[in-house]
Amino acid sequence: MVTIRWAAAATLLAFLAVAALGCSSSTAPGQSLTPAITAPEGAADLRGLLLTGDQLRQAGLPADLRTVPDDQVSSYENPDPRGPCGAPMDAHELYSGGIRYHAAATVLAFEAVGRATNERAEQLMDAVVADVTPRCPEFISRTNTGVDQANHFGAPIDLSGLGDQAVGWQSTVTVQDQHAHGYIGMVRKGDTIVTLVLVAPTLLDISVVRHAVQAAADQLSSATTTTSV
């Protein structure tokens, strides 16, 4: 069983990978105070927008990256969703269509997809973009197990030209003396938003991050174009 701690951190989905980054089982998070996230019925079409492990490897992620089966992942609702610099956010719609996890020895990748109305999807993206503020102060948020964590905004990631809207950033999260670097890319096409998160114990090559988000955007745009024809 791979356990993912959904920490209200540098991503609206939030994250802190524990076992998937090679830590021992003794570091696994405690009992969650929030309910588990379950894939909603009728979301199969949206899950089809999520990248496969092969697509992520082709984008430059490690060769040992493998997709984690759904029944081997535990994930929980975020009790304290925040934007990149700490603004409170309503984020549940961002994963309303499902989540897919991939793990390698040195990186965890997970992608979520959500659908709303065009207006609501644009509002969600606008709120995130507005909270990307270089050199913003560190902020504290609460994880699903009730532990505080420190969130440090690193830098925005240029994702211009992807989808109808796109935003990306890098942040570092510290929980109980454990550190993780997170790279988040969000892309909207019409009423649908995909969010790709890469988490690693060390800094990643930004060009690899961009290629991975580009692959997610291409997948979204291709599916959206096919559906609209």
pLDDT at 58: 97
158: which residues sit within 8 A by CB, 6+ positions away? Answer: 168, 210
pLDDT digit string, tens, across residues 19-39: 222 222 223 446 888 887 776
- Neighbouring CB atoms inside 10 A of 104's CB total 20
Element (H, E) at 91: none
CA dist., res. 75 & res. 170, Å (int)? 22
Residue 133 φ/ψ, nearest 5 degrees: -130, 100
Q: Which range among 29-33, 35-39, 51-55, 84-88 has the greatest average pLDDT?
A: 51-55
Residue 211 Cα distances to 138, 141, 191, angstroms? 28, 30, 23
Percentage with pLDDT > 90 across the chain: 54
54: which residues sit within 8 A by CB, 6+ positions away? Answer: none
CA dist., res. 143 & res. 79, Å (int)? 7
Average pLDDT, the chain: 82
pLDDT at 59: 97
pLDDT digit string, tens, across residues 9-21: 333 333 333 322 2
Q: 3-class DSSP state for residue 37? A: coil
- Whose tokens are 């690193």? That residue is 154
Domain 2-228 adopts which CATH fold? Protein Transport Mog1p; Chain A (3.40.1000)
Question: Has residue 196 got a pLDDT over 60?
Answer: yes
Beta strands 108-115; 192-200: pairing state? antiparallel
Nearest to 109 by CA among 118, 119, 99, 117: 99
pTM of the predicted model as reported, rounded to 2 decimal places:
0.86
Residue 188 Cα distances to 117, 193, 202, 211, angstroms? 11, 4, 28, 17
Q: How confident is the model at residue 224 (pLDDT cuts 50, 70, 90)?
A: low
Q: How confident is the model at residue 142 (pLDDT cuts 50, 70, 90)?
A: confident
Q: What are the sequence ranges of the domains in the chain? A: 2-228
